[in-house]
C-alpha cells in the first residue's frame, strides 16, 4: 500500500493527476493515506472540485477522515468559496475531535476568510492555543482579501510583538492589504523594511503588490520604474 501511495503522490507532485487517479483506482486496498494523497494532489494542482468530491466519496465509502483529510477538505472549500459545505465539514471536525489540530485550524481560518466571514476567521484564530506563522499569515491574507488594510497591519504588528518572525508570505499579505486599502506610504515603508530590516529578498509577488499599490494610487510613473528596475525578471 505504501508503494502505491507513494506513486499517487509522486504523480501528483509532477502535476499528472490522471495517472495519480488511475493508480488510486487500480490499487486493491486503500488506507487513509491513499485518500489523503489523492485529495492533496487534487488540491495542489488546483482541482478543488475534484478534491472536494473525493473528500465526499471517502465518506460515502465509510472511511473516517483524519486531520490531514480535514485540512484538505476545508482548504478545498476555501478555494471554492463553498461556505455551506465548509461549515458542515467544520461541524464534523468538531465532532471527530480534530478541532485542536493546527493544520485544520489554519485551513478553517482561510476558509472563513475566503468566504468573507472575516470575523469568524478571527474567532477561529483566537481559539487556537498555539498559533504558528501559517495562522498569522492566513489571517493577514484574509484581512487583505476583504479590504481590511488597517486590521492587516495591526495584526502584523501584533505578530511582531509576539516575537514571531515574518516570512515572504506574511509580506505578500500586508503589501496586498495596503494596496487594496490605498495605504500607499505604509506599503512602501513595509516593502523597504522587508528587505532592510528582515532581509527578505522580494519575490515577483512582492513587486506585483507594489506595482499594484502605486498604480491604483495613480502613481503610474513610479509603478513603471518599479517594473523596469526590479532585481528579478518581471512576469
Partner RNA sequence: CUUUUUACCAAUC
Regarding 96 and contact with RNA (CB under 7 A), the answer is: no
Nearest to 234 by CA among 192, 206, 214: 206
The least distance separating RNA from the CB of residue 147, rounded to whole angstroms, comes to 10
Regarding 1 and contact with RNA (CB under 7 A), the answer is: yes
d(CA 31, CA 14): 22
Residue with cell 461549515: 87
Contacts 24+ apart (CB under 8 A), 84-93: 85/52, 86/111, 86/112, 86/115, 89/55, 92/65
Binding to RNA (CB under 7 A) within 18-47 occurs at 31-34, 36-37, 40, 43-44
The least distance separating RNA from the CB of residue 211, rounded to whole angstroms, comes to 7
Single residue of 77, 99, 106, 118 touching RNA by CB under 7 A: 106
Residue with cell 490499487: 27
Residue with cell 465526499: 56
Radius of gyration of the chain from its Cα atoms, rounded to whole angstroms: 20
> Using an 8 Å Cβ cutoff, are 78 and 111 in contact?
yes
Regarding 223 and contact with RNA (CB under 7 A), the answer is: no
201 DSSP assignment = P
Which span sits near RNA by CB under 7 A: 18-26, 55-63, 85-93, 176-184?
A: 176-184
Single residue of 23, 141, 184, 226 touching RNA by CB under 7 A: 141
Q: Give the list of residues 6+ apart from residue 219 with CB closer than 8 angstroms, or none.
A: 184
The least distance separating RNA from the CB of residue 187, rounded to whole angstroms, comes to 11
The least distance separating RNA from the CB of residue 126, rounded to whole angstroms, comes to 16
Binding to RNA (CB under 7 A) within 50-69 occurs at 66-68
List of residues contacting RNA (CB under 7 A): 1-2, 5-6, 9, 31-34, 36-37, 40, 43-44, 66-68, 71-72, 75, 78-79, 81, 102-103, 106-107, 110, 114, 133-134, 137-138, 141, 144-145, 168-169, 172-173, 176, 179-180, 204-205, 208-209, 212, 235
Amino acid at each position: 500500500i505504501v508503494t502505491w501511495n507513494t506513486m499517487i503522490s509522486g504523480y501528483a507532485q509532477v502535476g499528472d493527476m490522471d495517472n495519480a487517479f488511475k493508480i488510486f483506482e487500480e490499487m486493491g486496498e486503500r488506507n487513509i493515506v491513499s485518500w489523503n494523497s489523492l485529495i492533496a494532489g487534487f488540491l495542489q494542482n488546483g482541482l478543488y472540485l475534484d478534491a472536494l468530491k473525493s473528500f465526499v466519496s471517502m465518506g460515502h465509502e465509510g472511511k473516517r477522515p483524519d486531520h490531514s483529510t480535514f485540512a484538505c477538505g476545508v482548504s478545498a472549500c476555501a478555494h471554492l468559496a463553498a461556505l455551506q459545505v465548509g461549515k458542515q465539514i467544520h461541524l464534523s471536525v468538531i465532532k471527530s475531535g480534530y478541532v485542536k489540530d493546527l493544520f485544520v485550524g489554519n485551513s478553517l481560518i482561510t476558509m472563513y476568510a475566503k468566504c468573507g466571514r472575516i470575523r469568524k476567521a478571527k474567532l477561529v484564530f483566537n481559539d487556537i492555543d498555539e498559533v504558528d506563522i501559517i495562522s498569522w499569515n492566513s489571517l493577514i491574507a484574509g484581512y487583505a482579501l476583504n479590504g481590511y488594510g488597517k486590521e492587516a497591519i495591526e495584526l502584523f504588528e501584533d505578530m511582531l510583538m509576539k516575537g514571531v518572525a515574518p516570512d515572504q508570505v506574511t509580506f505578500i499579505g500586508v503589501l496586498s492589504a495596503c494596496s487594496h486599502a490605498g495605504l500607499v506610504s505604509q506599503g512602501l515603508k513595509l516593502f523597504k523594511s522587508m528587505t532592510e530590516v528582515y532581509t527578505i529578498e522580494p519575490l515577483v509577488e512582492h513587486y506585483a503588490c507594489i506595482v499594484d499599490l502605486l498604480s491604483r494610487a495613480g502613481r503610474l510613473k513610479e509603478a513603471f520604474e518599479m517594473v523596469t528596475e526590479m532585481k528579478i525578471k518581471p512576469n
